Amino acid sequence: MKLTRRKTMALIGGGFIVAAAGGGVHVASRKPATARAPWAQAGRYEDPRMRALSWAILAPNPHNMQPWQVDLSTPDEAMLYVDTTRLLPHTDPFNRQITIGLGCFLELLSLAALQDGLDAQIDLFPQGMDSKQLDARPVARVRFVETERAPDPLFAHVRARRTLKEPFNTDRPVDAAPLTAMKAAIAHRSGFGFSLSPDHIAWLREFTHEALALEIETPRTYLESVDVMRVGAADVDANPDGIDFTGPIFELLSATGTMTREALLDRSSRVYQEGLAAVFANTDTAMGHFWMTTPGNGRSEQIALGRDWLRVHLAATQAGLGLQPLSQCLQEYPEMAAHYQEIHAQLALGGETVQMLARVGYGITVPPSPRWPIDAKVRNA
């Protein structure tokens, strides 16, 4: 049976348990005190815009960068901007993935507004945009208008939504029913395909493993991930974004100075080697895959795709199915070009752009990802 990421990393930590004796039990029991609070606080605001935004900040987004800033200076409106300090220039040079994340934010904002009988009317890029790079201009103007539209039942699953970055149970197959329900949740015309064929699963396991290895082996793209890794509760509370590692073993690794940025960058270190084994256990236990496409690759299509991704993810949550994006082969930097071309040759038979590829399966229950509080993301409230 495959080890989880945390069990795999426990192999590293095992030799340091004695070193942490005395204060070890206390250290190992630490949990983030504030980083997950926004999940509990969502919806607890008087201003209906703030209520909707407090849900929207829980949206999935690449590397958990939370690249949104919102201005509420105009009554009954919200202006969404991208925080240009939270981009991923090496793995996402054209900000395509960040834009998809902004689409997720807008869809969750819209679903939350409907709970209060409000229609979030979205005007994209009201001051224009650059197809190659997001900039300081607004991404969207949102007007909150009363509506008699019924709330969307998908909203009931927002708090339970997770990206499952753990190995899946290879003894539990996935059938077509939840994936068909996920496809039915699409509202913005994204294309959706999936495969549960054993041969195709095996091919995609190997292919996504190779693409992940390439990202890690490319120094600047790997460094981009390491730079936003947060190890232990204190680090996560101080920086509630990026790639978080929490739990007893990570608390001990952090306290003993074992899992450091330097160790993660040292390809000969045990931390690095066991980390590889842990992330490859994810690609290698996929029990099915699905992908989402758009006819072209414009900004409005990326936003629409993000809106549908959020809906698909909530439908997967409703069905009890775990998922994790495998975006490496879709990234547009030169070293990934051959994998990008190959995955499009395999999945985009009509010439579409493959915007998302994900693995599906059943796995363990995990806590929600850290979030910055809404006050850090909203101005002129």
pLDDT at 209 over 70: yes
**pLDDT value of residue 1:** 30
In 193-228, which positions are buried (b, 16+ CB within 10 angstroms) versus exposed (e)? bbbbeeeebeebbebbbebbebbbebeebbebbbeb
- pLDDT band (50, 70, 90) for residue 27: low
pLDDT at 20 over 80: no
Beta carbons within 10 angstroms of residue 86's beta carbon: 20
Q: Rounded CA gap, 84 and 254, in Å?
A: 30
Q: Rounded CA gap, 18 and 15, in Å?
A: 7
pLDDT at 341 over 70: yes
pLDDT at 126 over 80: yes
- pLDDT band (50, 70, 90) for residue 75: very high
Q: Rounded CA gap, 91 and 66, in Å?
A: 16
Contacts of 360 (CB under 8 A, 6+ apart): 168, 174, 178, 179, 194, 286, 287, 288, 289, 290, 316, 321, 322, 323
Q: What average pLDDT does the chain have?
A: 93
Per-residue pLDDT reduced to its tens digit, 263-281: 999 999 999 999 999 999 9
Contacts of 375 (CB under 8 A, 6+ apart): 381
Q: Please state whether beta strands 243-245 and 229-231 pair in parallel, antiparallel, or not at all (unpaired).
A: parallel
**pLDDT value of residue 13:** 45
Count, residues in the chain: 381
| Domain range annotation of the chain | 1-381
- pLDDT band (50, 70, 90) for residue 247: confident
Task: Say what the alpha-carbon torsion angle 87, 90, 95, 97 is, to the nearest 10 degrees.
Answer: -90
Q: What is the CA radius of gyration of the chain?
A: 20
Q: From the centroid of its chain, how far is CA 141?
A: 24
Q: DSSP state, 241?
A: S
pTM of the predicted structure, to 2 decimals: 0.94
Q: DSSP state, 18?
A: T
**pLDDT value of residue 119:** 98
Contacts of 122 (CB under 8 A, 6+ apart): 106, 110, 140, 141, 142
**pLDDT value of residue 302:** 98
Q: Are 294 and 160 in contact (CB under 8 A)?
A: no
CA separation, residue 145 to residues 75, 149, 206, 331, 342 (Å): 11, 11, 48, 37, 45
pLDDT at 221 over 80: yes
Concatenate the DSSP letters of all residues of 274-339 into one string.
Answer: HHHHHHHHHHTT-S-EEEEEESS--HHHHHHHHHHHHHHHHHHHHHT-EEEE--GGG--SGGGHHH
Pick the CATH number of 1-381 from 1.20.1090.10, 3.40.50.620, 3.30.420.40, 3.40.109.10: 3.40.109.10
- pLDDT band (50, 70, 90) for residue 253: confident
**pLDDT value of residue 24:** 55
Secondary structure element (H or E) that encloses residue 237, with its range: helix 233-238
Contacts of 29 (CB under 8 A, 6+ apart): 248, 251
**pLDDT value of residue 12:** 47
Assign 179 to helix, strand or coil. helix
Identity at 141, one-letter amino acid code: R
- pLDDT band (50, 70, 90) for residue 255: confident
Tokens encoding 268 = 């000969």
